[in-house]
Chains A and B, each alone.
Chain A
Amino acid sequence: MNKKGFVLIAAVMLLIFSPFIFSLFYLNLVTEILILAIFALSLNILVGYTGLVSLGHAAFFGVGAYMSAILAREISPNFFLTLFASLAAAIIASAIIGIFCVKVSGFYFLMLTLAFSQMIYSFVHQSTTITGGSNGLSGIPSPLIGSLDFSNPVYFYYLILLLFILIYGGLSLIVHSPFGQVLIGIRENETRLKSMGYHTTLYKLAAFVLAGGLGGVAGSLYTSFNSFISPSDVYWTMSGSVLIMVLIGGSGTMIGPVLGAAFIVILETIVSSYTTMWMMIIGIIFILFVVFFPKGIVGLGKLLFQSFSKSNKLSAISGKKSNALYNNDVKN
């Protein structure tokens, strides 16, 4: 078995046994990380793979979150109902917004996504009768599947873990599929892709809707998790945080956004227990990453790993023949 497979299995095992290892407080932290990781993974499709930097991704998170909250309160907290309704709502919202946004690129794309998300924010903020305005919606019942109640944090954790693994696996397939390679091609050189015969605008829209839809899913799960949602989760600072998660983790990689989400959530939890100025600390760390490790935690990890294996190689060359033989055996 290769190293990558080993690390993957170890990580999945750790996640599966988390409820037996961690106290409830930390288990909830892991749940939150997984939900925000889904959110960051969805944005990464746009930012990391298609090369479209969006500053309005909270809009779709918000659409999913409010859809879920309203349905759970007014109609039924059935998990499949809230999840698929949120997904559908986010897909519709991102398709409409996407049609406009994918027509422009670079800075204009960023500004346009920001403008649209702020429109959704002000709608949420002002439609007091539907969304509760600035008070938000509280007392959202926890999800149900049949008679199975997910108010138990351990059950809920496994539900989220299952979804996270499905989404992570699905996205890893997509980014390596021919379709995913087209998105990467657009990131690298859209002009060339057009002259290869690709309708790039359509592919950008597909990426936008995929990202938006999964963003909605993350929003829906977040609502169920907190049993509360407020307009601040639709505000542009939320779009900023998730963008920071992607960039600090390592955009354009699969594991990066997950690590970024974990890093930010853990940091926020630790730092905010000491000082109220945690935003400033995160800001400083973000700046350090951008300046010194623009490829994020993943890039940093690779750098460390390379220098580690290099020094290993050097020691192998300096006299240990048996070691070299052993290595050959493994390769063959």
Chain B
Amino acid sequence: MENPVILKIDRVGMHFGGLEILKDVSLEVKKGERIGIIGPNGAGKTTFFNILTGDLKPSSGSIYYKGENITNVANFKRTNAGIVRTFQRNNLLNELTVLDNLLLVLQRKHHLQNVWFKKRNEKKYPKLFEEANQLIKTWGLEKRANEIVKKLSYGEQRQIEILLGIAINPQVLLLDEPTAGMSQAETDYIVDLLHNLPKDLTVLIIEHDLEVVFGLADRMVVLYDGGILIDGDPNEVRNDRRVNEIYIGKEEAAAHA
């Protein structure tokens, strides 16, 4: 049985003044797909994500989620409907502990956010804390649970960035360069975690590290100059002459230099 289309992007265009970032981008995403999005800097990858999450309104075109037009739906409502993102640059609650960051996500997920007269502690919310501690354990952050986020290493913060996204139990997860700036060991760790995500979760991943993205994706989309250049099988994309020229070629040239 063919998987249903969960996300449909229909001729989306975006321009800031005279500057055209995206031109008539159309894409159909099926449930459970792992789509890698690559392209040179300035190709419009992050703008594309911002439009999907509702952080930006497209200048033209529409977005459908499970068949419903969500083009004008606010970002927080999209999160609650299951479209969740992580940020390219760590965007955490820096002055709070790792646990508190996570609890904010989980209390929203379990609809506890409007309780006013009950202190949020382990005694009164045992299930909430249990789930948080379980997640922290899975991610190997036990020793960091009660540390202030800004005191952690960049790699650890990056991990939390992704953890906060996944903790919501999204249906569509948008990962914006999840391994940017990480060491090889940290990258391997994240890739491993991403491999173990539930199979029915749809993932769109922007990534500069081609090793990572080819390893995770079962479909590749190449964005170039605001449009989709190629959309297909990773092997096909890897061997495409145009991709080599505009993207991989440059990297290799840089590596050889």
| Co-complex (A, B) | yes
A residues engaging B (CB < 8 A)?
170, 173-174, 176-182, 184-185, 188-189, 191-200
Contacting residue for B114 out of A178, A189, A194, CB 8 A: A178
- Cα of A174 to Cα of B116 in the assembled complex, Å: 5
The residue that B168 contacts in the complex, of A178, A194, A197, with Cβ under 8 A, is A197
Known: A176-B120, A179-B114, A198-B113. A192 touches B92 (CB 8 A): yes
Q: Which of B84, B85, B108, B118 contacts A177 (CB 8 A)?
A: B118
For window 62-101 of B, CB contacts with A under 8 Å fall at 74-77, 79-80, 84-85, 87, 91-96, 100
Across the interface, which residues of B come within 8 angstroms of A195, CB to CB?
53, 55, 75-76, 79, 84-85, 87, 91
Q: How far is the CB of B173 from chain A (nearest CB, A)?
A: 12
Q: Does B182 contact A (CB under 8 A)?
A: no
Neighbouring A residues of B100 by C-beta, 8 Å: 181
B interface, by DSSP: helix, strand, loop or mixed?
Answer: loop
Q: How far is the CA of A196 from the CA of B115 in the complex (A)?
A: 17
Sorting the interface of chain B by its residue count into under 10, 10 to 19, 20 to 34 or 35 or more gives 35 or more
- Smallest Cβ distance from A156 to chain B, in angstroms? 28
Smallest CB–CB gap between B74 and chain A, Å?
8
Q: A180-B120, A195-B79, A197-B76 are in contact. List 19 more A-B contacts (CB 8 A).
A: A170-B117, A173-B117, A173-B118, A177-B118, A177-B119, A177-B120, A178-B112, A178-B113, A178-B120, A179-B116, A181-B107, A185-B93, A185-B104, A189-B93, A193-B104, A195-B91, A196-B76, A196-B79, A197-B108
Closest to A193 in B: B104
Cβ–Cβ contact A196 & B53, under 8 A: no
Q: Which listed residue (A180, A188, A200) contacts B93, Cβ 8 A?
A: A188
B105 within 8 Å of A by Cβ? yes
Within 8 A of A (CB), among B149-185: 164, 168
A176 to B112, CA, bound (A): 13
B103 at the interface (CB under 8 A from A): yes
Contacts of B80 in A (CB 8 A): 197
Cα distance, A193 to B105, chains bound together (Å):
8
Residues of A within 8 A of B104 (CB): 181-182, 185, 193, 196
